[in-house]
Structures are given as C-alpha cells and as structure tokens.
Amino acid sequence: MSGGGREPAERRPLIAANWKMHFRAGEPAAYLSALLRPAPDLSDRDAVIFAPAPLLAETARGLAGTGIAVGAQTTHWEDRGAFTGEVSGPMAASAGATFCLVGHSERRLLFGEDHAAVARKLAAAFRNGLRPVLCVGERLEERRAGHELATVESQLRSALEGLGQPELARLAVAYEPVWAIGTGETATPEVAGAMHAAIREVLRGTAGDVAGSGTAGDVAGSGTAGDVAGSIPLLYGGSVTPGNVDALMKQPEIDGVLAGGASLDPASFRRILDFGRAPSPA
C-alpha cells in the first residue's frame, strides 16, 4: 500500500443507487423530481442509479443533463441472440445506460451466476462501453469460518483474469458482504475499510501481473500498474443509510457506496448523495 489515504484527484467518490426490482413506468419521473430539487452539487462526486431494465430509458431521460448516470443491474454476456428474457449490453446502452452492475450477490446466489458467468459478463460490459461495478462479498458462514478474504479474493481473481490495463482503468468494485445486504446490519467502517485495503492489494497484484506479462500495454498517459490499481474506486454496499454514510465515507479506502433499500426513497438517497455535507434546510 502506498500511504493508504484516498487520492482525491484519482478517485472521485461514486455514490450509487440500486433500485433492484422496484418501481413501475412513470414512477422514476416523480422520484427524480424529488431527488433533483434543489440540483445536487456533483462538483466533487459522481453518481449513478441502477434501474430495472424496463425503466432505463425513462430514468435516463429524467437524468439527462444532471450529471447523474444510469446503469443496468445485470446484462447478458452475449450481445444478441436466442436468450429469452435477457437484456444485453447494447440494449442497455441504447436505453441510456453507461454503467452496469456485474456479479451482484443476488445474481450469484438467487440466479446461479458462477465465477465463469461473472467473468464473461464483465468482459461484455467492457466490450459494450459500459462501466462495470463488479460486486464481491462473502456470506455469513464464510466470514464465520474466517474465509472472507479468500472468498473475495477468488471472486476478484476469477473475474479479472485476462483483463488488460485499459479495462482495469475503467473498473469499479463494490464490496458487499452478503450478511449486510438488506439486513440492517452494516459492516463497521473499520471492517469495511480493512476489506477494501485487502481488495486494493489484490488489484495491485492483478494490475502488476498484467503489466509484467506484457499482454497489455500501459494505459495511455496513466503511468504504472500501481497507478491503475490505485485509481479503481472501491464502493461499500450493505445497509448503507443516511445515518451511516458519513462514517463509511470517512474511511480512506472507501470511495463510494452502493445503496439498495435506502435508495428507494429520494430524500434518503439525496442525503446519501450529499454525504459529508450539512443537511440542507428544508
């Protein structure tokens, strides 16, 4: 680790909402008019809303010109074909998405996405110009057995295998311990911060391997492998609320949050987006 602190010039905070399977046509418009009044100050942070596929276009229209991006919650590894019910990267992009989640634990655990599927989906995201937020995180039994680092490391390594530095430079990673998702139980800022530091080490190793293997060149103008790994934003997710976001964001290794339940209410997501600032007068 070099120094350990966040380098603000390299890693702008990224604040993300994951609406999961909520809202119907017409509802994003009302949500966004509440969220955007008054207009959020995004001069020192980035934001993205991961919307359900049928609401991507409506959400993108509502966010046009605001600086807040739209992302898909999952995309298929193929770009087109006979995959009933699936949504491809090009489809999501044509609806206005510029980000996508890859490997969310609900996809892994409820829909059987294994390491191989996650790796293919990550590659598809890059191929289609979407900025992926790769989700990793251990289950409670894995943490109880003391395997949390090994679990997260294997999720990371299997997903990142074969990627070059240009891809790593566009990656974001979200650490979402499964035991903290939707449970009201949050990793303490210290637990999350320690895992983020461990994830950063794996990323440095991966970026170093890529540079050392000679399979990919340096990112133009972005310097060394260490710089690339150091520039990847690491988000925390799992019961993030307006009440705990400030403490989480104070951790030098936490560069952002991915909020599920608390993002469903625009006032609550707005407070998360405004982390570190005094609440604005009503």
Compare residues 99 and 210 and give the one whose CB is closer to ligand PGA: 99
- Distant-in-sequence, close-in-space partners of 129: CB < 8 Å, separation ≥ 6: 93, 98
Compare residues 72 and 219 and give the one whose CB is closer to ligand PGA: 72
Compare residues 181 and 229 and give the one whose CB is closer to ligand PGA: 181
- Does 242 engage in binding with ligand PGA (CB under 6 A)? no
Complete DSSP assignment for 65-82? TTSEEEEES---SSSSSS
- Does 71 engage in binding with ligand PGA (CB under 6 A)? no
Identify whether the C-beta of residue 205 lies closer than 8 Å to the C-beta of residue 167.
Answer: no
Count of residues in contact with ligand PGA, rule CB under 6 A: 13
What does the block give as tokens for 32? Answer: 């966004």
Going by DSSP bridges, is the β-strand pair 14-18/256-259 parallel, antiparallel, or unpaired?
parallel
Catalytic residues: 104, 176
Q: Residue 14 Cβ, how far from ligand PGA at the closest point, in Å? A: 13
Q: What are phi and psi of 47, to 5 degrees?
A: -145, 150
Site string for ligand PGA, 179-218 (x = CB under 6 A): --xx------------------------------------
- Does 176 engage in binding with ligand PGA (CB under 6 A)? yes
Identify whether the C-beta of residue 72 lies closer than 8 Å to the C-beta of residue 121.
Answer: no
Compare residues 206 and 268 and give the one whose CB is closer to ligand PGA: 268
Residue 39, amino acid: A
**If residue 17 lies in a helix (H) or strand (E), which one and from where to where?**
strand 14-18
Give the binding range for ligand PGA (CB under 6 A) out of 72-80, 190-198, 206-214, 235-243.
Answer: 235-243
Q: Residue 21 Cβ, how far from ligand PGA at the closest point, in Å? A: 12
Rounded-to-10 torsion of CA 102, 106, 107, 111: 180
Give the binding range for ligand PGA (CB under 6 A) out of 3-11, 75-83, 200-208, 253-261.
Answer: 253-261
Which residue in 260, 266, 270, 273 binds ligand PGA (CB under 6 A)? 260
Residue 180 zone, left/alpha/beta (φ > 0; ψ -120 to 50; rest): alpha
How many Å is the Cα radius of gyration of the chain? 18
- Does 272 engage in binding with ligand PGA (CB under 6 A)? no
Which residue in 90, 208, 226, 261 binds ligand PGA (CB under 6 A)? 261
- Does 251 engage in binding with ligand PGA (CB under 6 A)? no
- Distant-in-sequence, close-in-space partners of 191: CB < 8 Å, separation ≥ 6: none
Compare residues 92 and 225 and give the one whose CB is closer to ligand PGA: 92
Complete DSSP assignment for 199-238? HHHHHHHHHHHHHHHTSSPPPTTT--HHHHHHTS-EEEES
- Does 228 engage in binding with ligand PGA (CB under 6 A)? no
Kindly identify the residues of this chain, within the stretch 4-63, that bind ligand PGA according to CB under 6 A: 18
Binding region for ligand PGA (CB under 6 A):
18, 176, 181-182, 237-240, 258-262
